[in-house]
Amino acid sequence: MLTGRQYKESLRDGRKVYFEGRLVEDLESEPALAVPLEAIAAGYDKYHSADPDAVNPLTVAPRSADELRERIPVITEMDLLLNVTYQSLMTLLVAAGRLADHAPEFVPRINAYVEDARRRDIRITECITDAKGDRSLPPGKQSDPDAYVRVVERRADGVVIRGAKLHISAAAFGHDLMVMPTKSMKPGEEDYAIACAVPVNAPGVHITNTTYHPRGGDPRDFPVSSRESMPDSVVIFDDVFVPTERVFLDGQTAQAAVFAHSLGLWERLGGVSFMVNQADELVGLAHLIAEANGTGRVSHVREKIDEMMIHATLLRAGLEAALLHAHATPDGYYYPDDMFTNVAKYHGAANFNTMVRHLHDIAGGAVVTAPSMSDFDNPDLKPLLDKYLGTGPDVSGEYRSKLFHAIRDTTADAYGGWHQVTNLQSGGGLYAQRLVTRKNYDIQRARALALKAAGLSGA
């Protein structure tokens, strides 16, 4: 296993990482990238073992429903890249089980790669969303055939791929990129049915970065995002060679969606797990700021907080149902129920903006106008700010401003905007969750109940 320092050194491998148009030679020297880098390194140190046979326990697949349940609180605490690595490995294991009957030649490669990744203690990022070009056209009919990642050459020892993947969190900090088809493919689209693992420093790989990390000002005004940030990337594959042992699907269009479905399941489980904590956090902020404002007993404020509590509880119930009804792969690895995972993810994403609106309505305009925390450092300003922003002997202006900054940072600034989009889009948008629900819902039972209620017995 690697230490945090060894992990940082492992990234000095000639990778092509860009930030604001500049090639970044040293990730630690770029402030917006240094914070997430330190968080990932701390995760390495947290789970490090000097035992030569040790592997990170969080990369080991759960062997029972109870183990799957026990993993949930850990998922919400680990750094995002370790979480994504866990999702990538679980995706491969679930996909291997689903490929066993139709493309068995890839199963030994997948299992060997998963074992090797654990032993080398590497981090892996998921690359699924293609550039897509004209969304009304399938991959093979795009004006630019590279709008979806495709195989441009097949060799005796591997394949060459070209294209780009978008919205890739933490791509600059991993060791491997897990490339997989973004959707199901049809006959004639064999070149787009490609799944493989690509080293980040492979020739032809280019990674751009964008981030919500605060770029200036007092970090106390950004109490969450100044400590927790992770860049998102466009990953470009400019004629990248992938050796055969790292290819997990190549041309099997009927199985192209296996990886997307498997990844979507694990991404949505991670999303729901985070949303459960996030929903409780929003309730806590609403309760605290209502108390600080002196409006905690106002009826419409209490009703909004009640609704936020119900939302948070329904999210937790959906997560519990997904874990309670967990399934096992043929190899005995457990994964959450598709139906309950997707319904919970849909509920959380569809209602997030309403919960944020309630919070903003309860808090008031000072969410975006509260003075900087550095203003309270000024000895002339502090007593005045405490006087006019305070709401009583027990609620100082400084205390109340800290709440306002937390609310703004998490819901009304760059980090909050990132959450509004990613809660909706991560793991696939709302339509993807509706499709899975439609596929898994017991519609025949519902029809039978309806026929019974109508006094009908026909089919």
pLDDT exceeds cutoff 60 at 267: yes
Confidence at residue 458, expressed as pLDDT on a 0 to 100 scale: 64
Q: What residues pair up with 165 in beta bridges, in sequence order?
A: 130, 235
Helices 256-293 + 430-440 axis angle, to 10: 120
User: Domain-by-domain residue ranges, the chain?
Assistant: 258-448
**Rounded to two decimals, what is the model's pTM?**
0.89
Query: Per residue in 193-208, pLDDT tens?
Result: 999 999 999 999 999 9
Query: Per residue in 301-342, pLDDT tens?
Result: 999 999 999 999 999 999 999 999 999 888 888 888 989 999
pLDDT band at 60 (very low <50, low <70, confident <90, very high): confident
Confidence at residue 269, expressed as pLDDT on a 0 to 100 scale: 85
Within 8 A by CB and 6+ apart from 25, the residues are none
Confidence at residue 426, expressed as pLDDT on a 0 to 100 scale: 81
Q: What are phi and psi of 245, to 5 degrees?
A: -65, -15
pLDDT exceeds cutoff 90 at 190: yes
- Element (H or E) spanning 160, and its range? strand 158-169
Q: How much is the average pLDDT of 39-53?
A: 93
Residues in the chain: 459
Confidence at residue 407, expressed as pLDDT on a 0 to 100 scale: 98
Q: Given its phi and psi angles, is residue 139 left (phi above 0), alpha (psi -120 to 50 degrees) or beta?
A: alpha
Q: How much is the average pLDDT of 145-168?
A: 97
Q: How much is the average pLDDT of 158-179?
A: 97
Confidence at residue 74, expressed as pLDDT on a 0 to 100 scale: 85
What mean pLDDT, rounded, does the chain reach?
A: 93
Stronger pLDDT, 24 or 68, i.e. the higher one: 24
pLDDT exceeds cutoff 90 at 391: yes
Query: Per residue in 146-157, pLDDT tens?
Result: 999 999 999 999
Q: How much is the average pLDDT of 240-248?
A: 98
pLDDT exceeds cutoff 60 at 22: yes
pLDDT band at 459 (very low <50, low <70, confident <90, very high): low
Instruction: Report yes or no: 346 and 319 within 8 Å, Cβ to Cβ.
Output: no
Q: How much is the average pLDDT of 243-259?
A: 95
Rounded Cα distance, 283 and 286, in Å: 5
* Nearest C-alpha neighbor of 344 from the set 321, 315, 323: 315
Confidence at residue 278, expressed as pLDDT on a 0 to 100 scale: 95
Q: What are phi and psi of 169, to 5 degrees?
A: -70, 135
CATH of segment(s) 258-448 = 1.20.140.10
